[in-house]
Amino acid sequence: MIEKKEILFPHDEIRETQDQVILQVTKALKNKQHLILNAPTGLGKTDATIPATLSFALKNNLTVFFLTPRHTQHKIAIESLIKIKERYNKDFLALDLIGKKWLCLQENVQTLNSSQFPEYCRNLKEKELCDFYNNFKRKKTWVKDFIKQVKDKNPLHVGQVFDLCSEEKYCPYEICLSLAKDAKIIIADYYHIFNKSIRENLFERTQKDLSDCIIIVDEAHNLPGRIRELLTKEISIYVISQAIKEAKSLNNQEAVEQLDSLNNILSNLAKEKMNIQDNEVLIKKIDLVKKIDYYEEVIENLEECAEAISETKKRSFAGSVSKFLRAWVGEDNGFARILSKGFSKSGQPFISLTYRCLDPAISTKEVVDNSHTTIMMSGTLSPTVMYQDLLGIDNPLLSEFKDPFPRDNRLNIVIPETTTKFTERNTTMYKKIAKSCANLVNSIPGNIAIFFPSYKLRDEINIYFQDLCSKTIFFEQQGLSKSEREETLERFKKYKNVGAVLLGANAGSYAEGIDLPGDLLKAVIVVGLPLAQPNLEIKELINYYDKKFQKGWDYGYIFPAIIKSLQAAGRCIRSEKDRGVIIFMDMRYAWPSYSRCFPKDWHIKITKEPEKLIKDFFK
Ligand code: SF4
């Protein structure tokens, strides 16, 4: 048994499974090995890994980066650090770091996208137009005192640091970077480490080196998808036409002609490469490059436009085009170049070009190979060997933990009566699904969440469901702000005694980002399999992983869908006291090719008559 004090454990008791997690983490740290940790929700992964890595980092002069996919998860990590500090009175500095845009005190910057904001900020700084930055740079003695005050209050949540900076009118990001130099643990976002230019900038400013860092990636099942998005670049006829307007406003006739020509090239490529019925085709790097005269000069000219535009506007479309053209001439292996055409939501025709990343290891391997230890952890990292392959981790420790909660607290059912298979989507099937859902919702006491493969399918099934359901129905709306989403959830929770039903989508934010512990949620129904649309990107992903690992369908298609289903199902049981029913409603879940993907300790029951099982469970 591990000594609590030895690893700065923040609670009275180390649970047995936490003890095992700590042993695995310690082993990886001592051997300078990497760890892939598949451990179910509720096991206390954060409270086990943070103290184990922090205590090791303090003894060996290393820095811990705890990376999460969402800002909300920073809070749990900082709470753990506050408890460590209170309990052991240990002298270490922790930092809660979020993206620069979210730490900016300028107004309305949230409308800028992640590639536009850095340019905007750089421009203000260079021209000495940001008072918050000027204050930080000029009032050196006051800033030093201010940083000392912040350090004395450590650990602080990022919102608290932001408020303190806001009062004094210092740029919060610059203050955070000053704190980062001495921080022994930094709670940050994925891209602080996995975006190469952001990482290099951060490490240069903080005088840190990857080889002296322990990287913990929380909810790491998200990492492959996030990295693919990060390394993907796209332009469309719309973006180019907006860039033309910018060039005209600058009287830059050369740029206008270059962009006009680019627009024509896209239209001609669509005519040359696509049949009338095609909406996407693969093209080669050279197909675009050979049509653009003086490729590098065009990029430089557009970069100049972007810089001039940034003097008056926060975002530049010319800048987006130049970035795309730079990316387009990049690597072939691990990427697909896709030409698409179709109609936008408003009915406008569009043509777009995408340089799409297929292989996240292009970015992650470099981080993993050069860090002291990387720990990938999640409740859905199974099979662990897939993540080893996808993320390019050589010879890691693979560690899988069983569900720590009593087996009797959960009932896992597959109902193989319906399907959302594309070829069988019709009114009869929707009515059948609606009836089956309504029967379950009406018979299960308390709150229930139902997740569908898409919002569209949810709405089509709800046409029949709403008349059969006897409980109040809540809808997950698309495009809501964080506070609006939370407000819906709070209202839903209030129905825990009378019971309500929440209808969401597997790709939505409720399927992964919510915690409904205790009696707030009695059941989750996962309708259908959230398989990705078999578009060109998915086909290329399957081909790529077939060539690389001979596991194209598993890595590119089947496992990502099952992981989404398991994530949605995981909303129900969040602690050892929670009891609930998890229902997978699709005949494909009973097929061996899909059923083999369920965790072995879930003891799934396959039945077309779940009523008796459910009744007995809630007795
Ligand atoms: S220096 Fe700071 S406050 Fe100024 S624009 Fe950049 S992030 Fe915003």
Per-10-residue mean pLDDT for the chain, 619 residues long? 77 86 95 94 88 96 95 90 92 94 92 81 91 93 94 94 96 96 96 94 94 97 95 95 95 95 95 92 96 95 91 86 96 97 85 97 96 95 94 95 82 96 95 97 94 95 97 90 86 93 88 79 94 94 97 95 90 78 96 90 91 89
Cα distances (Å, whole numbers) of residue 451 to 86, 106, 431, 461, 570: 41, 38, 16, 12, 12
**Distance (Å, whole) CA 447 – CA 511:** 15
- Give the Å distance between the CA of 106 and the centre of ligand 1: 7
Task: Find out whether the beta carbon of 117 lies less than 6 Å from any atom of ligand 1.
Answer: no
- Give the Å distance between the CA of 105 and the centre of ligand 1: 6
Task: Find out whether the beta carbon of 125 lies less than 6 Å from any atom of ligand 1.
Answer: yes
Pairing label, strands 213-217, 94-96: unpaired
- Give the Å distance between the CA of 173 and the centre of ligand 1: 7
Q: Which ligand 1 atom minimizes the distance to the CA of 125?
A: 1
Question: Which pLDDT score is estimated for 397?
Answer: 96
Candidates 127, 132, 177: which one to mutate for ligand 1, based on the most atoms within 8 Å of Cβ?
132
Q: Please write down the long-range contacts of 404-407, taking CB distance under 8 Å and 24 or more positions apart.
A: 404/15, 404/17, 404/40, 404/42, 404/43, 404/576, 405/40, 405/42, 405/573, 405/575, 405/576, 405/578, 406/576, 407/601, 407/603
Contact 437, 464 (CB under 8 A): no
Question: Which pLDDT score is estimated for 516?
Answer: 82
Question: Which pLDDT score is estimated for 41?
Answer: 79
Question: Which pLDDT score is estimated for 1?
Answer: 62
The DSSP letter of residue 154 is -
Task: Find out whether the beta carbon of 100 lies less than 6 Å from any atom of ligand 1.
Answer: yes
**Of the candidates 187, 281, 189, 283, the residue with the CA atom closest to the CA atom of residue 230:** 189
Handedness of CA 567, 572, 575, 580 (dihedral sign): negative
In one letter, which amino acid is 448? I
Number of residues assigned to the chain: 619
- How far apart are the two ends of the chain, measured CA to CA in Å? 39
Contacts of 434 (CB under 8 A, 6+ apart): 461, 462, 463, 464, 465, 468
Question: Which pLDDT score is estimated for 203?
Answer: 96
Question: Which pLDDT score is estimated for 287?
Answer: 96
Go through 30-52 and write b for each residue having 16 or more CB atoms within 10 A of its CB, e for each that does not.
eeebbbbbbbbbbbbbbbbbbbb
- Give the Å distance between the CA of 316 and the centre of ligand 1: 18
| Element at 560 (helix H, strand E) | helix 559-569
- Find the DSSP H helices in 72-157: 72-88, 116-126, 131-138, 140-152
Provide φ and ψ at 318, rounded to 5°. Answer: -60, -40
- Give the Å distance between the CA of 180 and the centre of ligand 1: 17
Instruction: Render 466-478 in DSSP notation, one character per residue.
Output: HHH--SEEEEPPT
